Structure 1
């Protein structure tokens, strides 16, 4: 039983950790002209079974448009009435309508309705659009915010509609022209009564839930906005020649990759990388050098720690002012921090090289010239590297790192957690606090994003003692030594001076940008990974690194906690034998596990349900051998082989995994990674990769166990499943949902169909089985199904009835209350039936 005071403490912590962010975090984003037609987004409502209404029909939704796009042409929404007539809202560029770019199309003709949306292309504000089909008066009314437009149009008394936002592939009404937009809060009703609501607040999958009815929509290539606030999205992965440094143009949202022969400009809003060769020939770069962008002069400065090697690259002309010299000992220190103070001074701090940590500060005037001035303020802080720095208007915040007072690597270096403030006017450091932590040791990526209005910072942390490491963003206070983890983790291959990570923020795109560099051995090439996360970032799932402090409310917190603890002590005597509401997992000790006791194979086994896991022929877990890229390559070939037997073509593989590379580079990457995958599969045993004609396939022997292959035969059976078949299914799904951490677009169709199939099989069995015959079995299956669908009413109802049959009324009520909380969290509405109505 969970201790009541522990539960109270958890609730109390949650109260003080609620985010105050007010930005919109729901909706469906649409891949537009930046993607190939097959990858553009569509939302279908009523595609399988149309939405039928009698009398007046109304459809409303909210829409916003991505700013600064070159092309907004496309279908916002298309309604197909009675399989005969299309009614569209379309963004068009026909000049005869002036600035009224939005048209209403009826069939194959313009209607008399056209309108504009203020600040389109400048603002990402949301606008409400409502279409009202008045069959009685024969009038179509289109309302944009508070402005309405009417047109006479005959309607049948009863009509059925299929509704498509963006792209669709429905019969002769298909289209692939999609404006760069976001949609949310779609509502449909008749005669003034709302019948369906699709809030579009999902985080994953291809299903758009209907919070009022049972008419879920289907999304193709969805970009769930809520997910973008929790999960870092991998945007680009490129391999560039030689050492590479990064600089960020915050005003325009452009990440610059500075290489020996070219400047690569990555535009965040368009997700495109544009290479451009220098007009002055190759530059002599070094792995220890860093870069920064000056928006006033539109120049990129590339420099060494001591600023004796420094060059200026004009972004517009792509001309360097001078050739950089090869570094000497004083210039060869890496992982230092930098700070461009307005348009007057460039500073560098800290660094590591030659088995020494530095605390030096160098500065030089802008416009730049080789040479620098050491600053005595550097001697007041501990020598370090792998610290993070972020500026405000008067100076620089510097946090964390790794080093020691002597600066010598051999004399017991350690992780540092102090937050220092460098006053650029007084040239002094002031220690603000020592960071509190209760996690494994960590260091920082190079930069902080400072939010002066919130008195907060954002930074990336990671453990330096691991090669296969991961970056975790944290939000910390500038006033108190507390922080919390936000967003999910980013894979990061860390190998000291061969690796680098940085964090930036684009106000134009309202996104954080993370970039990692990996340039091993001789630094002949650098692998660059670019990720983004929408602002505000959601708290990380799972245990947080630390929680924000209670601050000025500490007296209130202690008082509330004391009351809760006293209340818990009293209640625990009264309900000692009961289970605390919400602790539905406590049932496990009471339910017979005999049917589920068989251990899954651990030799030559591959698991896709729950955590991805692979065991070799000897039973050793070799999952760690699958790097993120190798894992995705293996999964896409395996699933295409198992699902469709023929496998996947090399062209499709290159399109999915190396779409950003030239044909030759993509072919080379495929060949190299196929070879790596073959070596790993040799260890698994009874599993090999082969190429038949144009298709790559995974061939397996009978001795190899793959849980997905064990799951598939049940999907082809008709009729009610037997108890033994459900036992076999439970043995598979008890590990968890299907590839829950697999965030690949191509995987969505696989993941979308499994929850529906598993739930249907369970309900078929339960519908033909008396609860009194097998209550424990039904309860255990219901618990497994919650990993796939936390808010399935039928599953919840059956579990509650089974618990009541066993006499566990308190636990049945706790199960219902837990469902109600999850339902409200998902749909933003209260679940209307009460407990008695649910179980009756």
Structure 2
């Protein structure tokens, strides 16, 4: 029930999800009279004095439309006309129908299509300059503009300037803002509405819409691209580089579906045979070579484009019944070998991770330290984008012993698999309700910054079901269902679905496969714009309502938000308690009173990065990876010695490859953004003092690492202080999911100080039994092989009569010891529990 409550709360709260908004401009794919335009000043022009700035986000699509007007601005007094024109791949700023020095090539600037790019145009009348910025690249040109006047403004096809505009590029625009003399005056987010006019949310001004489409529709609705019917089941692979889906048949035949042209073609006169079973045993291997593999025959076959042939000539020696249905697959990031994970076959679930050794021609089982993943199949797996040596596995169906006769368990857990360190870590798990029986597809897609992931999930109680996008978070145990659904026929091993990322179009691709009547197979391909958004997007158009009605809705919204916040916090607290980091054994009946971590003006670093503002709102999401790292650099150096960190050191850590001028500009921009975020916290300040950047925290700001350092320095502690230390450190190690190299010394120093202090307290002080037990668990959180903690824990459990739990703790330690040190642990259980550890 707890899992369903999470989903219920998140569904209600889905309107705050980041869902793409904006206007999608129809271009030459439609007739001229149906193309999109927005008249910003359709009723009256905008006044300015000294200067004004326009800024918005723009996304240019990869289509056959290579030309058109993005923006037209007509100044009233001097009759100056400014146009921003696009002619793929070039963008120009035109002044009075003449080219200016402002000309940029998107390819030269490495600006991708189908991505949001910030665009800014500033007119500085006092200095007679026009400044232009696109994706952070800056340009300027001299201009003569009246010091005060008015201007009209439009986007796309709007004919009001005495000449005919009929071309608009394939683009989308959102968040158009206008500043006058440095002060924000107007803002149009361009959220979906069914009105012909849309309101400026900073004033009463409206803009006129002509033939709009809405970006959100492309992020909420799957588009069926094509459906194919084949006589035999194909093995399916996605060629990311060429953006082609390959369908490979046991006969050796290959059919290719080009996503860009929406055409299916066959490769003619293919020689040889692939070797594979029926469980989608195909992958793009080394050098992007199409490769099939077999578990039954311990073999692989590669397709050579130059010779148009498969390596294998002879037919199969064994049957093609798979050993591992619905397994996951990848190319090992270190060895570059084909690597498979888990699967189902012969009435058993597997938890094997295997790589194919091309030299010895056999599958070898890979060994990992850390957490154990229970046997399963129908899981979702993906490789990180920031770190390609890290894989993430989500969900699945199986049971702890791997035998089908023992029943099925639905898993909603997330594991981090480090192929470089050969280590597995369980990140989180959601407890499922018996009625909630959803399974993911084979692959998941990590976001660019690896903070979240997308997969498809389907309810499996019925054969005729549906697929829906699920968004998960690497550091937060929760899921969102978003967008519409795709029909899916699930008949276990006879069905297959997968998810791919189409990079050039910035879309997700969903693929479904099913067996139809007559033993033919139907493959359907769908796409949706990336990232998928919420179907419950708020309509930004507000009709005028009586004051009493507005107050009623405001009060209702406030109550609802409070209830949602309360429920989410309760659920979050329960979920955290359910997560098993290291030792699951807590047997003492007398609970330590709960110390509530502050969630107002609070900075939490243990267990993970989290920041709360002065109103209790979690503002962690506002820190981009760069802002987060900059903030932590300044904060930790400030706490360490009170002096802070120099600009040169910041450049060395964050922008080592950039020239000093560029790094200085990046630092200035990000410091400004950081200060803006920290305005939500009362009592924190970033200052530049004596050539050092530092963060000053007032007494009303809680920072857990500063609090812990103060507590560790205190010699005489009461019970409340111990409880505080225990509850702070129980969240986990310092910034455990943030791993830049500069952070390692802070982590090592903090861990060493904490472990040594806790060891001293737990072994020498005459403390309350429950506190000593809790401290031993905290020590294991920071040092899983700490012998002092083992002796304390086992001794206390034994003295309480819980000998089996003491033995379980000891055996867990011994197994870890052997795994890490490759030798037997020297002390017996009797020696451990008989150790005199009391004060």
TM-score normalised by L of structure 2: 0.50
Moved more, 285-294 or 520-529: 285-294
Aligned with 1:440 (options 431, 436, 442): 436
Aligned match of 1:386: 378
Structure 1 distance, partners of 2:223, 2:436, is 26
User: CA offset at residue 341 of structure 1?
Assistant: 0.8
Structure 2 distance, partners of 1:176, 1:322, is 58
User: CA offset at residue 298 of structure 1?
Assistant: 1.9
Structure 1 distance, partners of 2:145, 2:47, is 17
Structure 1 distance, partners of 2:413, 2:181, is 64
Aligned match of 2:482: 487
Aligned match of 2:542: 792
Residue 254 of structure 1 pairs with residue 4 of structure 2: no
Aligned match of 1:335: 326
Residue 90 of structure 1 pairs with residue 85 of structure 2: yes
Q: 1:425 to 1:75 in 2, by over 3 A?
A: closer
Structure 2 distance, partners of 1:213, 1:67, is 32
Structure 1 distance, partners of 2:546, 2:68, is 42
User: CA offset at residue 171 of structure 1?
Assistant: 11
Q: 1:303 to 1:175 in 2, by over 3 A?
A: farther
Structure 1 distance, partners of 2:73, 2:265, is 45
Residue 312 of structure 1 pairs with residue 312 of structure 2: no
SS in 1 for 2:350: coil
1:36-185 aligned at under 5 Å gives the runs 42-46=36-40, 49=43, 51=45, 60-66=54-60, 72-79=66-73, 88-92=83-87, 101-104=91-94, 106=96, 109-110=97-98, 114-116=102-104, 119-123=108-112, 126-130=117-121, 132=123, 141=130, 143-144=132-133, 147-151=139-143, 161=152, 163-165=154-156, 167=157, 175=165, 177-185=167-175
Aligned with 1:499 (options 485, 495, 509): 495
Aligned with 2:266 (options 263, 277, 280): 277
Q: 1:89 to 1:40 in 2, by over 3 A?
A: farther
Structure 2 residue ranges without an equivalent (≥5): 563-616, 623-839
Q: Does the CA-based 8 Å contact 1:287-1:523 persist in structure 2?
A: no
User: CA offset at residue 69 of structure 1?
Assistant: 7.6
1:578-727 aligned at under 5 Å gives the runs none
Structure 2 distance, partners of 1:366, 1:431, is 28
* 1:454-496: CA deviation from partner (whole Å, max 9, x where unpaired): 676543322112234233444446678x322153343231322
Aligned match of 1:626: none
Q: 1:790 to 1:52 in 2, by over 3 A?
A: closer
SS in 2 for 1:331: coil
Structure 1 distance, partners of 2:514, 2:468, is 18
Structure 1 distance, partners of 2:179, 2:320, is 73
Aligned match of 1:515: 511
Q: Does the CA-based 8 Å contact 1:113-1:151 persist in structure 2?
A: no
Structure 1 distance, partners of 2:453, 2:557, is 40
Structure 2 distance, partners of 1:501, 1:489, is 16
SS in 2 for 1:517: strand
Residue 814 of structure 1 pairs with residue 555 of structure 2: yes
Aligned match of 1:465: 461
User: CA offset at residue 105 of structure 1?
Assistant: 6.1
Structure 2 distance, partners of 1:172, 1:452, is 45
SS in 1 for 2:410: strand
Aligned match of 1:359: 350
What is the number of residues matched between the two proteins?
536
* 1:185-219: CA deviation from partner (whole Å, max 9, x where unpaired): 43458898876432334488876432222413315
User: CA offset at residue 445 of structure 1?
Assistant: 0.9
Aligned match of 1:632: none
Structure 1 distance, partners of 2:306, 2:44, is 54
Structure 2 distance, partners of 1:40, 1:318, is 47
Aligned match of 1:777: none
User: CA offset at residue 236 of structure 1?
Assistant: 2.2
Q: 1:244 to 1:171 in 2, by over 3 A?
A: farther
User: CA offset at residue 311 of structure 1?
Assistant: 3.3
* 1:511-553: CA deviation from partner (whole Å, max 9, x where unpaired): 5544333343445342322233534x66x67xxxxxxxxxxxx
Aligned match of 2:396: 401
Structure 1 distance, partners of 2:159, 2:399, is 63
Q: Does the CA-based 8 Å contact 1:501-1:516 persist in structure 2?
A: yes
Structure 1 residue ranges without an equivalent (≥5): 1-8, 94-98, 542-739, 742-787, 802-810, 829-840
1:516-535 aligned at under 5 Å gives the runs 516-535=512-531
Aligned match of 1:290: 280
* 1:24-44: CA deviation from partner (whole Å, max 9, x where unpaired): 9554454667x5667996331
Structure 1 distance, partners of 2:399, 2:277, is 24
Structure 1 distance, partners of 2:543, 2:30, is 39
Structure 2 distance, partners of 1:195, 1:416, is 51
Aligned match of 2:189: 199
Q: Does the CA-based 8 Å contact 1:400-1:444 persist in structure 2?
A: yes
SS in 2 for 1:460: strand
* 1:334-375: CA deviation from partner (whole Å, max 9, x where unpaired): 42222321353213344456x734427585647699x64364
Aligned match of 1:220: 211
Q: 1:287 to 1:466 in 2, by over 3 A?
A: farther
Q: Does the CA-based 8 Å contact 2:275-2:312 persist in structure 1?
A: no
SS in 2 for 1:236: strand
SS in 1 for 2:169: coil
Q: Does the CA-based 8 Å contact 2:73-2:151 persist in structure 1?
A: no
Q: 1:452 to 1:813 in 2, by over 3 A?
A: closer
Aligned match of 1:610: none
User: CA offset at residue 19 of structure 1?
Assistant: 13
TM-score normalised by L of structure 1: 0.50
Q: 1:171 to 1:288 in 2, by over 3 A?
A: farther
Aligned match of 1:209: 199
Structure 1 distance, partners of 2:421, 2:554, is 64
* 1:62-120: CA deviation from partner (whole Å, max 9, x where unpaired): 354548888753222235789x9975322347xxxxx97514164xx535564326744
Structure 2 distance, partners of 1:793, 1:472, is 33
Aligned match of 1:711: none
User: CA offset at residue 440 of structure 1?
Assistant: 1.1
Q: 1:374 to 1:206 in 2, by over 3 A?
A: farther
